[in-house]
Amino acid sequence: MLFRNRFLLLLALAALLALLSLSLQFFHLIPVSVAKNGASSKSRKRIMPDPVTEPPGMDPVYEALLYCNIPSVAERSMEGHAPHHFKLVSVHVFIRHGDRYPLYVIPKTKRPEIDCTLVADRKPYHPKLEAFIRHMSKGSGASFESPLHSLPLFPNHPLCEMGELTQTGVVQHLQNGQLLRDIYLKKHKLLPADWSPDQLYLETTGKSRTLQSGLALLYGFLPDFDWRKVYFRHQPSALFCSGSCSCPARNHYLEREQRRQYLLRLRSGPLERAYGDMARILDVPTKQLRAANPIDALLCHFCHNLSFPCARGGCIGMDHFRAIKAHQMEDERERRERKLYRGYALLGAHPLLNQTVGRLLRAAEGRREGAFALYSAHDVTLSPLLSALGLVEARFPRFAARLVLELWQDREGPGGHAVRVLYDGADVTRHTAFCQDGRGRWPTPMCPLDNLVRFVRRDMLEALGPGGGSTSYYEACHRKGL
């Protein structure tokens, strides 16, 4: 009972804080405040977190609630904001799949009872959910690259399968789609009324949760979801690097990063105690519990308002949850400091960013293909992208997180084209590595496309640090003596 009341209270608090923090970011657009903190890039704060509205010291439970991304009232977002003389040309959206069932089971406990069938009058609701179910039930014809055909178009198990998208996950992406539609289609007319299939570029990994998330977002986005106009490509790699995935240096950075993670874990007393206590409750060796990555399942209980599991030795409690989540936050902090992950991310995200830059340049030339691109992906896709772009302070990708790149044409200035970068609705353009002017923040809200192109084609590989300056991706990947 105590847990439930606390949950409700925290939920209300989180909703309020989220709203407040977005409104504050909105006012940051006003030039006065920009001039005021144009001082140094060192004073950059975490991107989403806001010192004014957040609990001091980063509360683990508050962070967990943001991660759940529980669908609630209409969200404020900064997508589509640009000076009048800019015209929207192209939009690229990178998403993490929505809320899903855990990938692991906690040993000796019952797995959480969550129903993954879609029911229009069960919470969370969405006005388009019923139509989505009807449309998807009719089947797709041949709208996917092999082997995506074999995947179900929507979640459908009365007891979720491991990793399955939930109704919450579908609603999160229907909401994302609708939000993007209101901004990009209704307001900025990104697609003409008679848009053709080649104006959409769609790519997903081969998991049902990413395909289904992509479909839900598109269903919310498109005014008429027509299977003949929708074609999803299959991406075998979670880094979206197909064709250039071989990169020994990237693996090397990853191994060192994993070693760092491992050593931090060994040093953490509270984490060790929490694991020891939980292992005692469940009567399993601590090692086995650790291997089952219990935070994944506990987050599912937490996000779905289910009490934590019990076993013969008692129940897993909020304190265990807090301790593990707090450790995750500490891990992210150390990760930012040590920069091994950045090395991994720069190499890992390069193929996808390079491909994206190619598309943006073609769009800037006036080609109309790919006006809207959607990449349906995972946390392990978005994390490296964020880090590579220099958004190292960004929060870990929540369920249904979205990273958006907008391409604009300046119809007045000689500047040509500009880009904006948005993460979960917040304008992070001026936090990126390619929109710094050396002394501090970029002076305008729009960042020249050339900056991004130069960054991806040259600077991001040179950013690999002393001795890391390499001219090509191939050289950077095969560098000796790291």
Ligand X SMILES: *[C@@H]1O[C@H](CO)[C@@H](O)[C@H](O)[C@H]1NC(C)=O
Residues that bind ligand X (CB under 6 A): 4, 8, 11, 244, 305, 351, 354, 358, 473
Q: Which is nearer to ligand X, 237 or 244 (CB)?
A: 244
In the complex, least distance from residue 245 CB atom to ligand X, rounded to whole angstroms = 10
CA distances 158 to 164, 241, 297, 326, Å, are 11, 35, 18, 33
d(CA 120, CA 195): 30
Exposure b/e, 353-369, CB count within 10 A at least 16 = b:
bbbbbebbeebbeeeee
CB of 408 to ligand X, least distance (A): 20
C-alpha–C-alpha distance, residues 251 and 50, integer Å: 34
Determine contact, residues 205/235, Cβ cutoff 8 Å: yes
CB of 370 to ligand X, least distance (A): 13
Main-chain dihedrals φ then ψ at residue 315, nearest 5 degrees: -125, 150
Q: Please identify, using beta-carbon distances, which residue of 68 and 89 lies nearer to ligand X.
A: 68
Q: Which is nearer to ligand X, 214 or 351 (CB)?
A: 351
At residue 338's C-alpha, the angle toward residues 336 and 339, to 5°, is 70
CB of 115 within 8 A of CB of 159? yes
Q: Mark residue 453 as left, alpha or beta (left: phi above 0; alpha: psi -120 to 50; beta: remaining).
A: alpha
Q: CB nearer to ligand X: give 8 or 263.
A: 8
Nearest approach, Cβ of residue 160 and ligand X (Å):
18
Please say which residue, 94 or 225, places its beta carbon nearer to ligand X.
94
Please state the closest distance from residue 371 (CB atom) to ligand X, in A: 18
Active site residue: 59, 115, 379, 450, which one?
A: 379
Residue pair 401/424 in contact by the 8 Å Cβ criterion: yes
Which residue, 73 or 266, has its beta carbon nearer to ligand X?
73
Catalytic residue among 97, 126, 188, 378: 97
Return the structure tokens found at 467: 């001795």
Nearer residue to ligand X within complex by CB, 351 or 445: 351
Contact 311, 361 (CB under 8 A): no
Report, in Å, the least distance between residue 399 CB and ligand X: 16
**Cβ-closest residue to ligand X?**
358
Beta strands in 22-136 (DSSP E): 86-96
Q: Which of 59, 218, 251, 36 is nearest to 140 (CA)?
A: 218
Residues with Cβ < 8 Å from 339, sequence gap 6 or more? Answer: 465
Known catalytic residue at 97:
yes
Instruction: Centre a 10 Å sphere on the Cβ of residue 260 and count the other Cβ atoms it contains.
Output: 17
Query: Does residue 92 have an active-site annotation?
Result: no
Least separation in angstroms between residue 49's CB and ligand X is 23
Residues annotated as catalytic (active site), given as ranges: 97, 379
